[in-house]
Amino acid sequence: MATRINKYLSEVGYCSRRVADRLIKEGKVTINGEIPEFGTKVEEGDQVEVKGQRIEKSIIQKKIYLAFNKPVGIVCTTDRKVEPNNVIDFIKYPKRIFPIGRLDKLSEGLIFLTNDGDIVNKILRARNNHEKEYIVSVNRLINRDFIEKMSNGVEILDTITKHCFVKQLGPRKFKIILTQGLNRQIRRMCEILGYRVQTLKRVRIMNIKLDLPTGKYREFTKEELLEINRLLENSLKTFN
């Protein structure tokens, strides 16, 4: 059965579909020696290469799902040439994996890594309403007005953020639960309201809570994976 090239690369665990699209656009992917267009399908027997490396479905033997407590200073990228402090070199996992989403360099906490490209879009799509929970400290005292505005939506990046749960935990600390993943969303929201984030830690993604020392990773438990699959059952994919 023919498979779109971006889906093929995600299914074999090379990268997510989003990254596959970028590689195709950059001309780094070939099918039988030719650079494909978006939407080109891979047929049985086709030879697929990325940056000159032969890619085959047989390279993946089992799906890998990791929870990792990212330290401050580590970048969530697989581009090891561009960024020396990248998550892949830090973890040194023996098989090819890639992060699901991002935490910016100054943030810490829970991030998933996998070789399952199909799960990436389901988790990241904001319309699927998958929760991500953060503990944030800021540079000055929080008041009720700040909590209400953060909860009701702040205008950033030419849009208004979705309503979300925000709870004050201390004079300068709060918890926030998002179902969006806008670029540097919490930092931008705080800046608009006149605050500067001092620490930002993600402590939960969906049903999985952060329970690891900084810099350590573990595999999902069977129970966690079953629950994540249940939560993802009705999630929308980016592509068919």
The CATH code of the domain that includes 113 is 3.30.70.580
Alpha carbon distance 181, 185 (integer Å): 7
Mutual angle of helices 117-124 and 17-25, in 10-degree steps: 110
Q: What is the pLDDT of residue 237?
A: 47
Q: Report pLDDT digits (tens) over 63-114.
A: 899 999 999 999 998 877 777 889 999 999 998 898 988 899 999 999 999 9
The CATH number covering residue 45 comes to 3.10.290.10
pTM confidence score: 0.76
Q: What is the pLDDT of residue 238?
A: 38
Range of the structural domain that residue 45 is part of:
3-59
Please count the structural domains in the chain.
3
211 shares a domain with 200:
no
Q: What is the pLDDT of residue 236?
A: 53
Judge whether 11 lies within some domain: yes
Of 11-20, 46-55, 146-155, 166-175, the poorest mean pLDDT is in 11-20
Judge whether 237 lies within some domain: no
Q: What is the pLDDT of residue 16?
A: 78
What's the whole-number average pLDDT of the chain? 88
Judge whether 239 lies within some domain: no
76, two tokens:
């969530």
135 shares a domain with 19:
no
Judge whether 240 lies within some domain: no
220 shares a domain with 155:
no
135 shares a domain with 40:
no
What's the 3-state SS for the chain?
Answer: CCEEHHHHHHHCCCCCHHHHHHHHHCCCEEECCECCCCCCEECCCCCEEECCEEECHHHCCCCCEEEEEECCCCECCCCCCCCCCEHHHHHCCCCCCEEECCCCCCCEEEEEEECCHHHHHHHHCHHHCCCEEEEEEECCCCCHHHHHHHHHCCEECCEECCCCEEEEEECCEEEEEECCCCCCHHHHHHHHCCCCEEEEEEEEECCEECCCCCCCEEECCHHHHHHHHHHHCCCCCCCC
Judge whether 12 lies within some domain: yes
109 shares a domain with 52:
no
Q: Report pLDDT digits (tens) over 6-47.
A: 888 887 778 878 888 889 999 999 999 999 988 899 988 889
Q: Report pLDDT digits (tens) over 190-213.
A: 999 999 999 999 999 999 999 999
200 shares a domain with 165:
yes
Q: Is 158 a residue of the active site?
A: no
**65, exposed or middle or buried, with CB in 10 Å at 0-12, 13-18, 19+?**
buried
Judge whether 91 lies within some domain: yes
120 shares a domain with 154:
no
112 shares a domain with 21:
no
222 shares a domain with 116:
yes
191 shares a domain with 222:
no
Catalytic entry in 21, 46, 104, 211: 104
Please check the confidence at residue 59 and state whether its pLDDT lies above 60. Answer: no
177, two tokens:
């639960």
Give yes or no for a contact between 114 and 100, defined as CB atoms under 8 angstroms apart.
Answer: yes
Alpha carbon distance 205, 194 (integer Å): 27
